[in-house]
Amino acid sequence: MDGQTIKTFFPNPKARLPVMSRQGQRILVPWGRREGQPGLTPQGGWARLESIKKGIWNRFSPRPVKISVDAFMEKDEAGESHWFLLENQQFIQGLITTDGPFTRLYVVTEENEQSCHKRHRWPRVMDAAEPLRTASGGLF
Q: How far apart are CA 58 and CA 42, in angstroms?
A: 12
Instruction: Give a yes or no: residue 4 inside a domain.
Output: no
Taking only the tens place, the pLDDT of each residue in 78-132 is: 888 888 899 988 999 999 998 889 999 999 998 766 655 656 678 999 887 776 6
Taking only the tens place, the pLDDT of each residue in 87-96 is: 988 999 999 9
Q: How far apart are CA 48 and CA 111, in angstroms?
A: 9
Instruction: Give a yes or no: residue 56 inside a domain.
Output: yes
- Each residue of 22-53: b (16+ CB within 10 Å) or e? eeeeeeeebbbbeeeeeeebbeebbbbbeebe
Domains contained in the chain, number: 1
Residue 71 or 132, more confident: 71
- The pLDDT confidence band at residue 138, using thresholds 50, 70 and 90, is very low
Instruction: Give a yes or no: residue 68 inside a domain.
Output: yes
Domain that holds residue 115: 16-130
Q: How far apart are CA 92 and CA 94, in angstroms?
A: 6
Instruction: Give a yes or no: residue 123 inside a domain.
Output: yes
Taking only the tens place, the pLDDT of each residue in 52-64 is: 999 999 999 999 9
Instruction: Give a yes or no: residue 3 inside a domain.
Output: no
* Predicted local confidence at residue 110, as pLDDT: 87
Q: Which amino acid is at 138?
A: G
